[in-house]
Amino acid sequence: MRNLRSLISEEEQKKEVKKQSFAYKDEEIIDVSEKINREKIEKVKKRSKETGLTFPKIYLDEKLLEIAYEINDTFMLNLKSDKKITRDSLDEVLPEFILSFKQTTLLPKNILEDIKEFIINNVIGYGPITALFDIAKDGLNDVIVNTKDYVDIIYKGKTVQTPFCFRSEDELRKVIDKMLAENNRKIDEAHPIMSSKLRDGSRVEVQIPPIAANEGSCITIRKFNDLPLLLEFLIDSGQMDYKMAYFLLKVAKGKCNIIVSGVTSSGKTTFLNAMTRFIDDNEQLMVIEDTKEMQPQMPCHSIRSYEARMANEEGKGAIPLDFLLRSALRSSPRRIIVGECRGQEIVVMLNAMNTGHPGSMTTVHADNTKEALVRIENMYLEARPSANINFIRAQIVSAVDIIIQLVRFPDGSRKLITISEVERRIEDNSVISLNNIFEFKRDTSDMKKTKGNFEVISTPSRTIDQMNMFGVEIDTSIFNKEFEMPKSMLIDELEKDLPDKMCGWKDEFIDVFLHQDPQIFHKWPHFQKIERDY
């Protein structure tokens, strides 16, 4: 009991506050049973079998959840504010505290453990959001909170409904405030939209009323995962075939300027990360982002990262992307990556690509490679309304070598559907000419599933010239439609750039890879050459 009392108040005070907490619950908190829709629970249970996700039973049983909330509320109201609370101290104190409630005497051990984790998540975490981090683990892409009533996730590319919710808007706002405080950000009605990040690097977007017009606050979390998604894994997941992968690593080595196009969650940042592995270690890479997401697969000494800054509450101190990009150019980088071009930074980016920074990369939001060009033109015009459209197109033709289109299909799968070469000419109708090199041809017989084949469409010319200029040789037989490329041909190239050189590499990653796929060494034998310290 000594450890218990170090965290909570004396027994008599505890009893009094306990009575108050139950009264508070009855009067001010909406009954939990009203918050959980039975139909929703059944749907979640059914979907759990498909996804393999297992949610704690207390979230699927109204009575158990009500007990968990009662214990949680009492514990929270009795916490001493002057004590530093850690996971270890909670692990020590909570089992005894939970068993002090008569409702828990007959509960099995796994339910008691769930209640303990429930309270810990509320005390030092983000409530149900932390629970989802633990449940979905590496398969978690996004967490989507759509008002207090709905907490969904994107898991392995698919949207999954969960049984979680918040009891009130006030409870949700407290979690929002806790998240933003980690990055010294605040949100209020005067500033109802805020971007931030969590301690682990996950990106957070928050909207509150009046901007969030659906009567409640909304959160979107793009989960950060330090486990690198290597080019080999993108191939295994069906995003591209051997020929495309071989061509792309040659494109990176050959210092071609690349635009990656796609909608939200199509895998643009993941793809860029995988491409950086094939940049020469001696080249200084400058990474510029609105919110840090990139994890370049290069040695630490080769990377400089910059992150834009929003204005403070007085509207001062903003450092936009275009300012960062101009500053970066004065630091003599060899290559530049801008996480995403959404505005006037496109002007500086094209200038950089045109003036001594070959091999630079960025992403844009567009549905196909032709629309990506239109998007770039429009961004340029927004930044420079008086610019001549023919001048803009000439800038694009001169700067951009390759445009890559990524798509996320309804079944959650991602595909690289087009690799286009920007030809050094403009059509008679003033449109920039594109030469499609590879395409994904979808089988339309079953639209519920994403099946199809990757096909060679044509042989590039400009890109090969660029590679040759920088001493990179490419086997052009891959552009022969009849040529079946052996996997060993790709492995020979991948082996030259093992991933363990990357900044942040951990020896344990190989063990994780093996756990996820015991056949990894058979599929990619070059991984066995990665040296480990244990």
89, two tokens: 């101290």
Chain centroid, CA 210 distance in Å = 27
Residues 533 and 405 placed together within one structural domain of the fold: no
**pLDDT above 90 for 370:** yes
User: Which of 6-20, 64-78, 182-196, 499-513 is predicted least confidently?
Assistant: 6-20
CA–CA distance, 350 with 392 (Å, rounded to integer) = 10
DSSP letters of 221-247? EE----S---HHHHHHTTSS-HHHHHH
Residues 277 and 317 placed together within one structural domain of the fold: yes
Among the candidates 88, 109, 124, a domain finishes at: 124
Report if residue 133 sits inside a domain: no
How much is the average pLDDT of 145-161? Answer: 91
Residues 104 and 32 placed together within one structural domain of the fold: yes
Let me know: does 307 contact 289? Beta carbons within 8 Å: yes
Q: Which residues does residue 195 pair with via DSSP β-bridges, in sequence order? A: 205
Q: What are phi and psi of 62, to 5 degrees?
A: -60, -45
Residues 253 and 324 placed together within one structural domain of the fold: yes
Query: What pLDDT sits at residue 13?
Result: 46
Chain centroid, CA 88 distance in Å = 30
Query: What pLDDT sits at residue 95?
Result: 94
Helix (H) or strand (E) holding 303: strand 303-307
CA–CA distance, 125 with 178 (Å, rounded to integer) = 9
Residues 432 and 530 placed together within one structural domain of the fold: no
Mention every residue, 6+ apart, whose C-beta is less than 8 A from residue 221: 129, 142, 143, 144, 198, 202, 203, 204, 205
Q: What would the pLDDT profile of 489-532 be if each residue is shown by its tens digit? A: 999 999 999 999 999 898 889 998 998 899 999 999 999 999 77
How much is the average pLDDT of 250-254? Answer: 98
Alpha helices in 102-215 (DSSP H): 109-124, 128-136, 169-181
Query: What pLDDT sits at residue 48?
Result: 66
Q: What's the one-letter identity of residue 404?
A: I
Residues 450 and 416 placed together within one structural domain of the fold: yes
Query: What pLDDT sits at residue 16?
Result: 43
**pLDDT above 80 for 40:** no
CA–CA distance, 239 with 211 (Å, rounded to integer) = 37
Residues 433 and 514 placed together within one structural domain of the fold: no
Q: Give the percent of the chain with pLDDT over 70.
A: 89
Q: What would the pLDDT profile of 125-144 be if each residue is shown by its tens digit? A: 999 999 999 999 888 989 99
Report if residue 186 sits inside a domain: no
Query: What pLDDT sits at residue 284?
Result: 92
Average pLDDT over the chain reads 88
Report if residue 145 sits inside a domain: no
Let me know: does 504 contact 295? Beta carbons within 8 Å: yes
Report if residue 162 sits inside a domain: no
Going by the DSSP 8-state scheme, the letter that residue 340 receives in this structure is -
Q: What would the pLDDT profile of 322-367 be if each residue is shown by its tens digit? A: 899 888 888 889 999 999 999 999 999 999 999 889 999 999 999 9
**pLDDT above 50 for 482:** yes
Query: What pLDDT sits at residue 445?
Result: 72
Report if residue 151 sits inside a domain: no
Residues 482 and 509 placed together within one structural domain of the fold: no
Among the candidates 99, 124, 149, a domain finishes at: 124
Report if residue 201 sits inside a domain: no
CA–CA distance, 437 with 457 (Å, rounded to integer) = 5
Alpha helices in 262-388 (DSSP H): 268-276, 321-329, 345-354, 369-383
**pLDDT above 60 for 36:** no
Residues 438 and 512 placed together within one structural domain of the fold: no
Residues 407 and 526 placed together within one structural domain of the fold: no
Residues 472 and 339 placed together within one structural domain of the fold: yes
What is the number of structural domains in the chain? 3
CA–CA distance, 476 with 459 (Å, rounded to integer) = 8
Query: What pLDDT sits at residue 5?
Result: 58
Domain extent for 518: 505-534
409, two tokens: 């299909």
Among the candidates 73, 96, 124, a domain finishes at: 124
Report if residue 39 sits inside a domain: yes
Q: What would the pLDDT profile of 218-232 be if each residue is shown by its tens digit? A: 999 998 888 889 999
Report if residue 319 sits inside a domain: yes
Query: What pLDDT sits at residue 444?
Result: 75
Q: Give the percent of the chain with pLDDT over 90.
A: 64
Secondary structure of 422-447 in the HEC alphabet?
EEEEECCCCCEEEEEEEEEEECCCCC
In this structure, which long-range contacts are made by residues 435-440, counting pairs with CB atoms below 8 Å and at least 24 apart in sequence? 435/460, 435/461, 436/369, 437/247, 437/463, 437/479, 438/243, 438/244, 438/247, 440/415, 440/416
Residues 461 and 530 placed together within one structural domain of the fold: no
pTM for the full model? 0.84
